[in-house]
Structure 1
Amino acid sequence: MAAGYNRPRKERRMNKKIIALAVALLPAAAMADVTIYGSIRAGLTSTDNIKTNFERTTGVDDFSSRIGFKGNEDLGNGLKAIWKLENGFRVDGTTGAGSSSGTFANRESFVGLQGDFGTLRLGFLDDVLTDTELTDFWIGPRNAGAELFPNYERADDTVKNAVKYNSPSFGGFDFSAFWGTNETNVNDNGVAVDAKHTYGARAGYAANGLMAGLAYQVATDANKAANKDDKSLRFEVGYEANDLFVAATAQQERYYDGGVDEIKQNAYALSASYTIGQFTPKATYSWLSNDKNSDAKDGSKQFAIGVDYAASKRTTLFAQYGQIKYNSEQEVTKKVNGVDVVTGRGDKGSTVNVGVKHNF
């Protein structure tokens, strides 16, 4: 018999009282409202695209798994202190960059205040473009949707050293403002370069199944020589009711490739899904225009189709296929003795994912 099971009942009752007394004497901070949550996602992936030199690779991948801790404290008079620490990890045993780096709090993490005035947060925060992604509902390995979709989220990011304000809802309307900086000025070969900043604003609407958002974001000093900025303007609209979800996105972006050449591109996307019992088939089509500042045919067209199966409230099985068609042949190069050598080329890529997601 295991140790402790043959102790007298009186002793066991006394131990329970001691434990109850110890819990009652814990400080209020130890009894704060803390929630542990997360999502474990993995599956089989078969990919043939520019990242794999247009050669098919197949294996087990993590699909942006994460664990988080969040909580709040009532400060009185309708004011709350809020906080969140979220960490990405890979269940396939590999490591990477960004949310797969293995460092703590590598996903959105913050401390802030919430009240009738709205919400103010400081920390490592999602920017306003990341808050405007209605048409991207895909799960992808390494980054959500990255291997399947989309054509337009190049600038979306979680920004260090950031502050963000979200207003309360006014009849369904709300707005937010964002600012982040790297806090360091750079000396580039004797030339002083100001610290880079990211700032933006977003206006949104959500009521009666209708959703809409307009976001504008700037990343300063994208081009060191000319002191130019990357700029993105995105509009989205969606509708969700009676198991149907549809959404559309339009974006205009100006950015600097390699910090030198200005590129201007428009991107568009359409997404839809419909839930039938435990199944949710879904599809997305997107296209990216060629550079409007040059003759470069660097645009593309992309589609993704898939189905989710809700095995339970927490567990989802999924299968999905995505394909991208470039407007011109893409070259894959690597440095050999300081010279760029073409190691692969192609004009079409595809990805197949089959996996499972469990939320807790």
Structure 2
Amino acid sequence: MATRTTLKATAVTSMSALALAALTTTAQADDDRVEVYGMVDVGLETYSADDEAAGFIFPGFNSAGGNNDAKDFALANGVSSRIGVRGGEDLTPNLRASYNIELGIDILNETGGATGAGSTGTRLGWAGLGGDWGEVRVGTDWMALYEFGGWNTHRTDMHGYGSYYYTTGVLRDSAQFGFRQGSTVSYQYGSAWGHSDPFAFNITAGIGEGEDNEEGISSLQAAAQYSFNDAISVNAVVYQEFVDGPADDDEATLYNVGARWNVTPALELAANYTVVTDFSDAVADSGTDGSDERDSIALAAMYDFGQGWDGHLGVSQASADDIADIDYNVYGFVRHSFTNRTNARLEFEHIDYDGDANDATETVGMVALQHNF
């Protein structure tokens, strides 16, 4: 009981201190432009799968007792409710200091969810210096791999990433699954979210990740995007791991290329291809062709129906030397935004696997409510 009370008190104290610090800073300096923001998201989810399914759908994430094929349904907070503080200060006419601290919060279980990992956790946490020349950041941040790659075709909040996980799941440490990465130093010019910047570029170094890794720079990624007429963007990402230590020395290499096209103001089409190699010496040594490789290709459409309704539909395939192929992965959502802060959505994903011994499928559906502040 004492441990449970301590966890609750720690979480409440942390949130209170975070909000109080932000409000105090706002009162002290108007030019700091401090923003306290957050999101609450919860869904009701149903999941079914064959026993042989490879498991690239993750049901019941951040739920009280998880979710599986045996359960009728469960609540899920997989997109992670959160609270954050961000802001900055102009140091000179062309030099600005900025920061972002964002904590994910498990709203469904006061003891930290099915994994017991704790009620709060760092999603973002970085400090930066920037200007017209770009921005340098240090800390935990979004990976260029997602901003310049995965976001092309994967826009769902929670489910719809099976083929993306298929390739990025073999990466090491915090880079695994390709969303955010900790312990990084990065430089970025422009933004790849949308088409607004004609050119965007990012280079990121992962620093000292992995207890068994003696390399100072544990990974490097470089990404670039070029946009035409605020309507078409083409992009590419290269990611390389560096490992030197007493354990395994697998050094994955990943390449990603993609494109997006706003056919009309309401319709956007996109494509994305990812291939990762050299992630496992054991696979390479046992493979019939002496290689270890996974790749995936995805096509997607995003459509604004008007009156607060929008939708997303994607289809992908993936193959590998070490696990069952994905014959097809269909995913998407239909969403209604009541206001610019509150929406409800229906998400779905289905994967059909093709293995040497047997085939398998897994399917998930979820209705969810989200409120942003």
> What range describes the TM-score normalised by the shorter chain of this pair?
0.7 to 0.9
* CA shift for structure 1 position 321: 1.8
- The C-alpha deviation readout for 1:56-95, integer Å capped at 9, x for no partner, is 5511111322211100101113110010001111222262
Could you tell me which residue of structure 2 aligns to residue 251 of structure 1? 274
- 1:227-238 equivalences under 5 Å are 227-238=249-260
Could you tell me which residue of structure 1 aligns to residue 354 of structure 2? 327
Could you tell me which residue of structure 2 aligns to residue 354 of structure 1? 367
* CA shift for structure 1 position 352: 0.5
- For the residue of structure 2 that corresponds to 1:261, the secondary structure is helix
- The C-alpha deviation readout for 1:224-282, integer Å capped at 9, x for no partner, is 6673311110011012341112111011111435x632420221001112111222132
Counterpart-to-counterpart distance in 1, 2:257 and 2:133: 26
Compared CA separation, residues 268 and 101, structure 1 to 2 (3 A): farther
- 1:1-360 equivalences under 5 Å are 28-29=28-29, 32-49=32-49, 50=55, 54-62=69-77, 63-93=79-109, 95-96=112-113, 101-104=118-121, 106-131=122-147, 132=149, 133-140=151-158, 145-146=160-161, 151-154=166-169, 155=171, 156-168=178-190, 172-182=198-208, 186=212, 194=215, 197-207=218-228, 208-221=230-243, 227-240=249-262, 241-257=264-280, 260-262=282-284, 263-277=292-306, 278-291=308-321, 297-328=324-355, 347-360=360-373
Counterpart-to-counterpart distance in 2, 1:222 and 1:280: 47
- For the residue of structure 2 that corresponds to 1:214, the secondary structure is strand
Counterpart-to-counterpart distance in 2, 1:148 and 1:181: 27
* CA shift for structure 1 position 46: 0.6
Compared CA separation, residues 260 and 220, structure 1 to 2 (3 A): farther
* CA shift for structure 1 position 148: 9.3
Query: Any stretches of 5+ residues in structure 2 without a counterpart?
Result: 1-22, 50-54, 59-66, 172-177, 285-291
Identity percentage over the alignment? 21
Compare 159-168 and 218-227 and name the one that shifted more: 218-227
- For the residue of structure 2 that corresponds to 1:130, the secondary structure is helix
* CA shift for structure 1 position 283: 0.8
* CA shift for structure 1 position 160: 2.2
Counterpart-to-counterpart distance in 2, 1:222 and 1:57: 46
- For the residue of structure 2 that corresponds to 1:289, the secondary structure is strand
* CA shift for structure 1 position 209: 1.7
Compared CA separation, residues 347 and 163, structure 1 to 2 (3 A): same
Compare 168-177 and 35-44 and name the one that shifted more: 168-177
Compared CA separation, residues 185 and 136, structure 1 to 2 (3 A): closer
Counterpart-to-counterpart distance in 1, 2:129 and 2:114: 30
Contact in 2 for aligned 1:134/1:237 (Cα 8 Å)? yes
Compared CA separation, residues 145 and 96, structure 1 to 2 (3 A): farther
TM-score by length of 2: 0.73
Structure of larger gyration radius? 1
- For the residue of structure 2 that corresponds to 1:108, the secondary structure is strand
Counterpart-to-counterpart distance in 1, 2:278 and 2:68: 25
Compared CA separation, residues 348 and 273, structure 1 to 2 (3 A): same
- What RMSD, in angstroms, separates the aligned Cα atoms of the two structures? 3.2
- The C-alpha deviation readout for 1:159-213, integer Å capped at 9, x for no partner, is 2221010024897112110001236763xxxxx9546702110011234221221
Structure with higher strand content? 1
- For the residue of structure 2 that corresponds to 1:129, the secondary structure is helix
Contact in 1 for aligned 2:45/2:367 (Cα 8 Å)? yes
Could you tell me which residue of structure 1 aligns to residue 14 of structure 2? none
Structure with higher helix content? 2
Query: Any stretches of 5+ residues in structure 1 without a counterpart?
Result: 1-22, 187-191, 331-344
Contact in 2 for aligned 1:123/1:162 (Cα 8 Å)? yes
- For the residue of structure 1 that corresponds to 2:146, the secondary structure is coil
1:276 maps to a residue whose letter is F
